[in-house]
Amino acid sequence: MAPKVKDICNNCNKDVVSNDRALSCSICDKWFHIKCERVPVADYDFLQKSDDSIQWVCKGCKGASQKICKMLTLMHTRQDKIETEVVGLANSLKHCNEKINSVDKNLSQLNENLPKMVSQQISQIIDDKSEEEKREANIIIFGIPETEEGDSKMKDTEFIQGLCSDSLGIDNIAIDEITRLGAKPKKGSGKFRLTRLVVKDNTSRNNLFRNAYKLKDTKIGAHKKIGIGRDLTKKQREINNALRIELGQMKKDFPHRNWAIRREKIVELPKSGIPPWAPDT
């Protein structure tokens, strides 16, 4: 299928035109340049010549599909185990009819509920992926003081621009939207709402995260208490909290090794390179 005029690559956000080497995912129907997905040219040529019986799936959907396959395998394993127990009871424990009937009932319920359980899991995975994509361009900034007078959004914009240029070494950050999250604290409490920053391009987002570790050594007082993080979904926050607990324990158990959280995993960082306090991107 050839791309439409307004199709864009879901990885690089650039247009996909008719003479581009690009593929459409058979699950999410989104277009991807083969270079962005690292698809070999030989594979691309083969797919172009094949009929619709051969489908191509993007890396994001492939990961979701693998999770579903693992879940189905586990369910079938459990079902096989129950069936084996039923056969064993029928052959050796004929006097345990009540127990056998109970197992048969449970097995029937499992078979009846299996399609619904699979459908719910698929829907949840798709919803989680969609929510993560919506927040991909968002950045959460902690500790920006709130103004009591004047245009607060303009003040926040000026503060973020100053933070980027003076402490992070980033010029011309492409700001799309700035929003304060939650109810405003009481005046004089010393607490500030989180600030959600939406940038216009991935370059601005990546520059912020790559240079966030510089805040540790900034000489500007107002920037010392600033923190920068991703806009996580509820599920991602739960995973991140669990990882932080595990990370703390690993640092106690192995104090001379350099541990950090990277892409929802705990990894050991080299002695040189990205500092361990750099945010997880």
pLDDT digits (tens, 9 = 90+) for 173-205: 888 999 998 888 887 778 889 999 998 888 888
Question: pLDDT value at position 22?
Answer: 92
Residue 147 has pLDDT above 70, yes or no: yes
Residues 226 and 246 reside in one and the same domain = no
Supply the range of the domain harboring residue 218.
Answer: 138-230
Residues 91 and 147 reside in one and the same domain = no
The share of the chain scoring above pLDDT 70, in percent, equals 91
* Arithmetic mean of pLDDT over the chain: 83
Half-sphere exposure of 152 (CA within 13 A, CB side): 13
Provide the CATH number for the domain around residue 47.
3.30.40.10
The pLDDT-based confidence of 277 (bands split at 50, 70, 90) is: very low
Residues 174 and 226 reside in one and the same domain = yes
> Which has more pLDDT, 110 or 259?
259
Residue 235 in contact with residue 219, Cβ under 8 Å? no
Does residue 199 belong to any structural domain of this protein? Answer: yes
Which amino acid, one-letter code, is at 5? V
- Rounded-to-integer distance, Cα 201 and Cα 181, Å: 22
Question: pLDDT value at position 281?
Answer: 45
Does residue 18 belong to any structural domain of this protein? Answer: yes
Residue 129 has pLDDT above 50, yes or no: yes
Question: pLDDT value at position 90?
Answer: 66
For the stretch 61-102, pLDDT in tens is 888 777 777 777 778 888 888 888 777 766 776 666 776 777
Q: What is the mean pLDDT of residues 104-115?
A: 79
Residue 104 has pLDDT above 90, yes or no: no
Question: pLDDT value at position 59?
Answer: 86
Report residue 139 as tokens: 């950045």
Residues 119 and 173 reside in one and the same domain = no
Does residue 281 belong to any structural domain of this protein? Answer: no
Q: What is the mean pLDDT of residues 153-165?
A: 91
Question: pLDDT value at position 195?
Answer: 93
Does residue 276 belong to any structural domain of this protein? Answer: no
Residue 16 in contact with residue 22, Cβ under 8 Å? yes
> Which has more pLDDT, 161 or 102?
161
Residues 148 and 211 reside in one and the same domain = yes
Residues 226 and 238 reside in one and the same domain = no
| Residue spans of alpha helices (H) in the chain | 34-37, 41-49, 59-92, 97-134, 152-162, 202-211, 234-253
For the stretch 224-250, pLDDT in tens is 889 998 888 888 888 889 998 999 998
Question: pLDDT value at position 163?
Answer: 92
Does residue 200 belong to any structural domain of this protein? Answer: yes
Does residue 273 belong to any structural domain of this protein? Answer: no
Q: What is the mean pLDDT of residues 254-258?
A: 88
Residue 211 in contact with residue 275, Cβ under 8 Å? no
Cα separation values, 35 from 28, 39, 223, Å: 19, 6, 39
What's the number of domains the chain is made of? 4
Window from 58-67, 153-162, 251-260 with minimum mean pLDDT: 58-67
Give the residues across from 33 on adjacent strands. Answer: 22
Does residue 65 belong to any structural domain of this protein? Answer: yes
